[in-house]
Chain A
Amino acid sequence: MKFAAFLIVSLCGGLLLYATADLPAWGDPNSPAGTHLSPHYIEKALEETDVPNLVTAVLADYRGYDTMFETAVVFCAGLACLLLLRDYTRKKGSFYRHIPTGVVIHFKENRKNPPKSREFEHMDKEWVPYDLIMKTVCRILIPFIQLYALYVVAHGDFSPGGGFQGGVIFGSSLILLAISYNLRTVMDRIKERVLGFLCVLGVLVYTGIGVLCMIPGGNFLDYSKLAVFLPVDPGHVRALGMLGVEIGVGIAVMAVMVVIYVNIASEGRHDEGL
């Protein structure tokens, strides 16, 4: 099995390396990209797409097909992390702390569901007391970080930003929650199932917009055909298509970040870690 995987990987790598021989030289001013493509993007991007940010226009519109598979690669990374690391065997024994007295109880077997009440607190094996300063500051900061993430996603077509960056910021806010409180707090707020669903949803939004463009008879990811569905100025439709795509990318990246963090930090058990 390992040998087969090695064979496939080296074949693909060899094929890619072989194909690079046909590429134009590095920085060649006479290559097609230098003579036709870049001047077209620089001169026409604003009037064609109505997006002031040229980088976003190239990334999400002209090269939208490429970006779709980048999102799929991110999704695959999350999926691989889940498949390799997820451990469904429940660990034996758990620690509980009686909050008023500070006595720690060790349940050796998990026969029943442990008592869930205000007096008892499920605690990690390597438990450290909550730091009040850390907790409070993180509680104040996390909403702002998330708001900023949404701002970055929504402003992708006006200023530096976009789906990847915004998704990473949003995911890191959830990771900050996991670090400052504990992993169970995050997993109680976002169930594992929801995370997996969001991973898929992000990629589906992207491809769904692509397919939606095909319904009125356009090409895959040809946003200008979305004018049928959107009652706005036809010149602005491509910008809106890009925004939708960016939102899909943001959702996928956010969920994948959290999935990777949670699986690595807790060795796949989703109960405790870091």
Chain B
Amino acid sequence: MNILVIFFLLFGLFFFTGGAVGIIRMPDFYSRLHPAGKLDTLGIMSMVLGLALYNLNHFSAGTLLLSIKMILIIFFVFLSSPTATHSIVDAGIRAGLRHWSKEQRRVE
């Protein structure tokens, strides 16, 4: 059980690190939103899943309820975070922000 928990936590940590590096290193607004939206969703998913499993070590009705609540958090984050990213990108395109390209290094 604990091995599974550690695996999930490390998996989530990997994605969080990747997301953080991506937010700093990516060249422009749109591509920065990509790690912010996607990797955080997956990172939170595996981390909270690991914590929910760890919480079940002492199995009882109370801890089961708590774990179900945690999995509900995953569900709602999974639903809302990509939508928020999508609408931010949408707003950026509507406002006329140009995307980055290799030829045009400096975004005007």
Determine which of A128, A134, A140, A141 lies in contact with B86 in the assembled complex, contact meaning CB atoms within 8 Å: A134
Is B17 an interface residue, CB under 8 A from the partner? Answer: no
Determine which of B79, B90, B94 lies in contact with A137 in the assembled complex, contact meaning CB atoms within 8 Å: B79
Is B80 an interface residue, CB under 8 A from the partner? Answer: yes
Determine which of B76, B79, B94 lies in contact with A128 in the assembled complex, contact meaning CB atoms within 8 Å: B94
Q: In the assembled complex, which residues on chain B have CB atoms less than 8 Å from the CB atom of A137?
A: 79-80, 83
A131 touches B87 (CB 8 A): yes
Task: Name the residue of chain A whose CB is nearest to the CB of B83.
Answer: A137
CA distance A134 to B79 in the complex (A): 11
Q: In the assembled complex, which residues on chain B have CB atoms less than 8 Å from the CB atom of A141?
A: 76, 79-80
Q: In the assembled complex, which residues on chain A have CB atoms less than 8 Å from the CB atom of B94?
A: 128
Chain A interface residue count, CB cutoff 8 Å, equals: 9
Is A144 an interface residue, CB under 8 A from the partner? Answer: yes
Measured CB to CB, the closest approach of chain B to A129, in angstroms, equals 10
Measured CB to CB, the closest approach of chain A to B65, in angstroms, equals 12
Measured CB to CB, the closest approach of chain B to A145, in angstroms, equals 9
Within 8 A of B (CB), among A33-58: none
Q: In the assembled complex, which residues on chain B have CB atoms less than 8 Å from the CB atom of A131?
A: 86-87, 90
Within 8 A of A (CB), among B60-95: 76, 79-80, 83, 86-87, 90, 94
CA distance A166 to B33 in the complex (A): 31
CA distance A210 to B80 in the complex (A): 41
Is A103 an interface residue, CB under 8 A from the partner? Answer: no
CA distance A133 to B80 in the complex (A): 10
CA distance A138 to B79 in the complex (A): 10
Measured CB to CB, the closest approach of chain A to B8, in angstroms, equals 25
Within 8 A of B (CB), among A120-170: 128, 131, 133-134, 137-138, 140-141, 144
Q: In the assembled complex, which residues on chain B have CB atoms less than 8 Å from the CB atom of A140?
A: 79
A133 touches B79 (CB 8 A): no
Q: In the assembled complex, which residues on chain A have CB atoms less than 8 Å from the CB atom of B76?
A: 141, 144
Q: In the assembled complex, which residues on chain B have CB atoms less than 8 Å from the CB atom of A134?
A: 83, 86-87, 90
Q: In the assembled complex, which residues on chain A have CB atoms less than 8 Å from the CB atom of B83?
A: 133-134, 137-138
Measured CB to CB, the closest approach of chain B to A173, in angstroms, equals 12
Measured CB to CB, the closest approach of chain A to B52, in angstroms, equals 18
Query: Per-position contact with B for A97-137: 1 when CB-CB < 8 Å, else 0?
Result: 00000000000000000000000000000001001011001
Q: In the assembled complex, which residues on chain A have CB atoms less than 8 Å from the CB atom of B90?
A: 131, 134
CA distance A140 to B76 in the complex (A): 10
CA distance A186 to B87 in the complex (A): 20
Interface residues, chain B, with chain A CB atoms under 8 Å away: 76, 79-80, 83, 86-87, 90, 94
Interface residues, chain A, with chain B CB atoms under 8 Å away: 128, 131, 133-134, 137-138, 140-141, 144
| Listed A/B pairs (20) with beta-carbon separation below 8 Å | A128-B94, A131-B86, A131-B87, A131-B90, A133-B83, A133-B86, A133-B87, A134-B83, A134-B86, A134-B87, A134-B90, A137-B79, A137-B80, A137-B83, A138-B83, A140-B79, A141-B76, A141-B79, A141-B80, A144-B76
